[in-house]
Amino acid sequence: MQPVPSPARRVVVTGLGLISPVGLTVEEAWRNVLAGCSGIRTITLFDTEKFRVKIAGEAWGFDPLNYMGPKEARRADRNVQFAIAAAQEALGQARLNIEASNANEVGVLIGSGAAGIHTYTAQQKVMDVHGPSRLSPLLIPMITVDAASVQVSIFTGARGPNFGVAAACSTGAVAIGEAFEIIRRGDAEVMITGGTEAAVTPLGIAGFDQMNALSRRNDDPTGASRPFDKTRDGFVLSEGAGVLVLESLAHARARGAEPLAEVLAYANTSDALHFTNPDPEGQQAARAISHVIRKAGCRPEDVDHINAHAASTPLGDVFEVRAIKHALGKHAARVPVSATKSVTGHMLGAAGAVEAIFTILSLRDQVLPPTINYRTPDPECDLDCVPNTARPAQLRVALTTAFGFGGHNTVLALRRWEPGDEAA
């Protein structure tokens, strides 16, 4: 069966960009993911003496001056700096130059969960010590959810649709899905899209820790994120950005661009249940999975791989397994389910975009990334989670799931691009 999205206007991925704890480029990060090299270490961005959680996934070695001038760097929150850097790499891979002739056709949609929390925290200290008159006049535009989209648009000159989105931990996937829909309905030919986050701050770490959401395995940073393992005790907070260039197939073909993958479908549902806890039975998450499969023109048995949200929380991993079983039925036992947060930690609003990138790379290279730190099987998480070691596979269609606090359930369906797919 050749799954093809029902609308005639098809959307492909032509560029990828990444800033992460496991690498500051797509290929560096991918090598480390496949090798199972964790990006979790002891926090260096601030003094953790008074904190119960002392580990995180920082964007190790990131220097904004490698991507922009000092003035631009000062005017951009850390999450925006990540987005600009990742967008540059994605546009470079896509070989897309934005000029007066095409600027109106290119939009930007980059989401963030905590947005400018880095700047907010720093500026609060300035006001507490020096008073309100010393605040930066750019404080407000630096901390808003749309800041990354706005500044990437200014940086690149893209003049198409431009806005930000926030959907907690599913933000990055929602941004990609909405950008996909923008292109399908003809409001843009190209979208620079994804998610970014820089919440490894005192407020971010302490806030999530007060929710008992974070792992406190300070003595074992690289082993702290362990999705699907029975001994998991919470997620590890990380930072970074994932940015993709999406194009209409016709536009990509006209300029001679080589697609990396095709976006088949996007689905989104809500648990409508609780501020943080998911539906323990995963019914609405299952509905999102089933819906995206139908919209992609597929059957459950056409799904070859899932890059799971799987954040390493006691409840969340179980609910996702149940959702996959509800949606795929007997086929769930045969589908390999990778949890790349075991390597990267949880990048919040960037996670869905970063994991979409890893899913595309899995399709490109025909390989399943490992779920590392899987030592003690959990009877409630009895799927093939690709434990500890990457392995080759024949992959055509893959899903990536992203679930967020507040009951957000988002799923993307992606297809490997092969010669002849233009006529499919």
Residues known to be catalytic: 169, 309, 346
Residue 209, Cβ density class (10 Å: 0-12 exposed, 13-18 middle, ≥19 buried): middle
Nearest Cα to Cα of residue 276 among 210, 217, 326: 210
Q: Copy the structure tokens of residue 398.
A: 């893959």
Measured distance CA(413)–CA(242) in Å, rounded = 17
Q: How many CA atoms lie within 13 A of 70 on its CB side?
A: 0
Q: How many CA atoms lie within 13 A of 188 on its CB side?
A: 25
Q: How many CA atoms lie within 13 A of 293 on its CB side?
A: 22
Three-class SS state of 229:
strand
Q: Copy the structure tokens of residue 14.
A: 């032509």
Sheet strands (E) in 90-188: 106-111, 162-163
Classify the phi-psi angles of 287: left when phi > 0, otherwise alpha if psi is within -120 to 50, otherwise beta. alpha
Determine contact, residues 372/343, Cβ cutoff 8 Å: yes
Local structure of residue 250 (DSSP, 8 states): H
Measured distance CA(172)–CA(195) in Å, rounded = 4
The H or E element spanning position 396 is none
Q: Copy the structure tokens of residue 302.
A: 């056409």
Residue 417 backbone phi and psi in degrees, to 5:
-95, 125
Which pairing describes strands 106-111 and 41-42: parallel, antiparallel, or unpaired? unpaired
Q: Copy the structure tokens of residue 2.
A: 């050749």
β-bridge mates for residue 391, sequence order: 368
